[in-house]
Amino acid sequence: MKFILKLVLLVVVVGLIPASVWFVVTQPIVTMPSSAPTKAAPAAVDTARLEGHVRTLSQTLHPRNGGNRENMNRAAAYIRQEFQNAAGRVVEQAFDDEGTVYRNVSAHFGPETDERIVVGAHYDAFGDSPGADSNAGGVAGLIELAGLLGKTGLKTQVELVAYALAQPPYWGTPRMGSAVHAFSLRTQNRAVRVMICLDMIGCFSDKEGSQKYPVQQLEWLYSSKGNFIVVVGNLSQIDEVRRVKTAMTGASPLPVFSVNAPLLFSGIDFSDHRNYWQADYRAVAITDTAALRNPNYRTARDTADTLDYKRMGMVVQGVHAAVIAFDK
């Protein structure tokens, strides 16, 4: 009898290990008593405006890579004007790279509190790609989020920031606009409650097999259809990921999945949030998973016509709800 009990206990323990890993990685339960999503109607997002921003950035201001200073300046000016139209307090952070000046453009909403919430997206594209999904969509979402926050009563300062220089050859270097911003906050000893990165939020598909994974077994945990948005964090951001996912799930019918994984997990730090981690801030990314879903990634086919603006609008609704959740 003792042997049987020990065997049963061993089976239970062995079974709990993968179950525990699954729970930590995927955050399957998001509605907690202390953080249940509000049932208030979500903020309305104008999908036509979202598409207009994407077309301006990916067509009128194409190409917008680090080597095209004129279009980078024009893109920064466009974003600045849209932030001003949303009644944001606009600040430009100019920085020099080998004799060329680039600009991060920020809009501040809410009171001037010591602590802030940061939401960011980079506005440059890879090479000559139009970069509609990567990352005109993220910037379009940031602009429309500004419009929502301009009408939202806030208790905490919220900073929306559009970054220059995220693509190669700047990627992974201190020359990234998000690195400049993150480390300037750290140098000034600014407190950041959370940073939310928007990078590729417009590609969705209901076709089987449209979603790929760095490890194919992950399809068992998620879905073979690319019809969801993902909240990404490392193992130190479990609470932040849960709170963002909870808020987004309550804001629209769009499926919201999440992953918390160690840095050795491929893709976990493949955007601007990485620089906030390096500056010792808590940060998460919101993404459609880039090349794991979008076959047009970093190609001439990444155009405005390929994006799903209805579901992109739901992402913006969710991000607005997440900001409100962290503003409490």
| Strand partners for 161 | 106, 120
| CA 100 – CA 25 distance, rounded (Å) | 42
Provide Rg for the chain, Cα atoms: 20
Question: Does residue 79 sit within a domain?
Answer: yes
pLDDT of residue 28: 52
Determine, yes or no, domain membership for 62. yes
Q: In this predicted structure, what is the pLDDT of residue 119?
A: 98
Residue 13 lies in a domain: no
Q: Can you give the pLDDT at residue 216?
A: 75
Return the pLDDT at 85: 98
Would you give the distance in Å from CA 150 to the centre of its chain?
Answer: 20
| DSSP single-letter state for residue 271 | S
- Describe the chain by its helix, strand, coil percentages, rounded to 5: 40, 20, 40
Give exposure, 133-163, as e/b (b: 16+ Cβ within 10 Å).
bbbbbbbbbbbbbbbbbeebeeebbbbbbbb
CATH number at residue 193: 3.40.630.10
Please check whether residue 119 lies inside any domain of the structure: yes
Vertex 129, ends 128 and 130: CA angle to 5°?
Answer: 115
End-to-end CA distance of the chain: 54
Rounded Cα distance, 233 and 239, in Å: 9
Specify the pLDDT at position 30. 45
How far apart are the C-alpha atoms of 166 and 172, rounded to whole Å? 8
DSSP track, 93-116: EEEEETTEEEEEEEEEES---SEE
**Bridge partners, 93 (sequence order):** 104
How confident is the model at residue 294, as a pLDDT?
A: 97
**Would 309 be classed as within a structural domain?**
yes
Question: What pTM does this model have?
Answer: 0.89
Neighbours of 47 (CB within 10 A): 17
How many domains are there within the chain? 1
- Residue 197 to residue 253: CA distance in whole angstroms: 21
Q: HSE of 240 in the Cβ direction (CA atoms, 13 Å)?
A: 24
pLDDT at 266 (0 to 100): 78
**What torsion, rounded to 10 degrees, do the Cα atoms 97, 185, 262, 123 define?**
-50
Domain of residue 131 covers 44-327
Residue at 203 is within a domain: yes
Domain annotation covers residue 81: yes
Nearest to 227, CA basis, from 142, 315, 319: 315
Q: Are 262 and 268 in contact (CB under 8 A)?
A: yes
Q: Do 308 and 227 form a contact (C-beta atoms < 8 A)? A: no
Domain assignment present for residue 139? The answer is: yes
- Residue 4's pLDDT is 38
Per-residue pLDDT of the chain (328 residues; tens, 9 = 90+): 333 333 333 333 333 334 334 444 555 544 433 344 444 577 899 999 999 999 999 999 999 999 999 999 999 999 999 999 999 999 999 999 988 999 999 999 999 999 999 999 999 999 999 999 999 999 999 999 999 999 999 999 999 999 999 999 999 999 999 999 999 999 999 999 999 999 999 999 999 999 999 887 788 889 999 999 999 999 999 999 999 999 999 999 999 999 999 988 878 999 999 999 999 999 999 999 999 999 999 999 999 999 999 999 999 999 999 999 999 8
